[in-house]
């Protein structure tokens, strides 16, 4: 990313991501905030492309936009009254505390990490991700699939007619 175009693209994406993220919270219409969330997630995929992480970018679009955001919008559409009524509720102070705690954790992680400033490799990342995933990180990988399976079974049990 030493090149000027790379830097310009990075700043455009960064401004777009943060702008979308702010709008997610501030727009009154919940459907609009879901759309801005899509924009935010798409911008992050753009950052991955800038870093030559093509596999991560594709998976980001596939999972976060193609699946998570779509399910979110699906949920909003099924509960249409949410849009017409006021979406705010009485949990402001607990929410503030929770997000504040999360922010502190993130900031300690950001400032505690020794960031390496080397240019991204131009090699294809898919193979190395697969190697890492199926050797060093096989346990988290298998655990996450068990968690997903549990979620699916749980959804079926809840949705089943009594």
Partner 1 sequence: MSNEIISFFNTFLSTSQSEAMATFVGIFFLINFVIIIVAFMTLLERRLLGRLQNRIGPNRTGPNGLLQPFADVIKLLTKEDIVIPAADRWPFNIAPLLALMPALSVWIVIPFAPTWILADLDIGILFVIAITGVSVIGVFMSGWASANKFALLGSMRSVASIISYEVPMILAIIAVVLLVGSMSMQQIVLFQSIPLVLVQPASFVIFLLAIVAELNRSPFDIVEAESEIIAGYHTEYTGMKFATFFLAEYTAALAWSAVVVTLFLSGWRIPFVQADIHPFIDGLVFLIKTIFVFCIFVWFRGTWPRLRIDQILGFSWKVLFPIATLNLVITAIEVLVFNDVFAVAEGETLPTIALVAMGLINIAIFIVVGIALNKFIKPIDQEPQSYPVTREGMTL
User: Given the rule CB under 8 A, which residues bind partner 1?
Assistant: 29, 31-32, 35, 38, 54-55, 58-59, 61-62, 65-67, 69-70, 73-74, 77-78, 124, 126
Q: 12: Cβ–Cβ under 8 A, 6 or more apart, which residues? A: none
Other CB atoms within 10 A of residue 49 CB: 16
Other CB atoms within 10 A of residue 37 CB: 20
Question: Which lies closer to partner 1 via its Cβ, residue 16 or residue 58?
Answer: 58
**Closest distance to partner 1 from the beta carbon of 83 (Å):** 9
Q: Is 121 helix (H, G, I), strand (E, B) or coil?
A: coil
Closest CA to 38 of 70, 3, 9, 1: 70
Question: Which lies closer to partner 1 via its Cβ, residue 55 or residue 137?
Answer: 55
**Closest distance to partner 1 from the beta carbon of 88 (Å):** 21
**Closest distance to partner 1 from the beta carbon of 25 (Å):** 18
């Amino acid at each position: 990313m030493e090149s000027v175009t790379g830097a310009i693209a990075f700043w455009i994406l960064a401004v777009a991501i943060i702008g979308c993220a702010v709008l997610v919270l501030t727009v009154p219409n919940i459907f609009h905030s879901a759309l801005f969330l899509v924009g935010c997630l798409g911008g992050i995929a753009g950052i991955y492309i800038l870093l030559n992480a093509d596999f991560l970018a594709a998976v980001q679009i596939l999972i976060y936009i193609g699946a998570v955001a779509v399910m979110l919008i699906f949920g909003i559409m099924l509960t249409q009254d949410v849009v017409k009524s006021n979406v705010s509720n009485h949990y402001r102070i607990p929410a503030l505390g929770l997000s504040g705690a999360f922010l502190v954790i993130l900031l300690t992680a950001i400032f505690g990490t020794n960031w390496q400033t080397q240019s991204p490799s131009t090699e294809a990342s898919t193979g190395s991700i697969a190697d890492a995933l199926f050797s060093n990180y096989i346990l988290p990988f298998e655990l996450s699939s068990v968690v997903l399976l549990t979620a699916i079974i749980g959804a079926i049990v809840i949705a089943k007619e009594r």
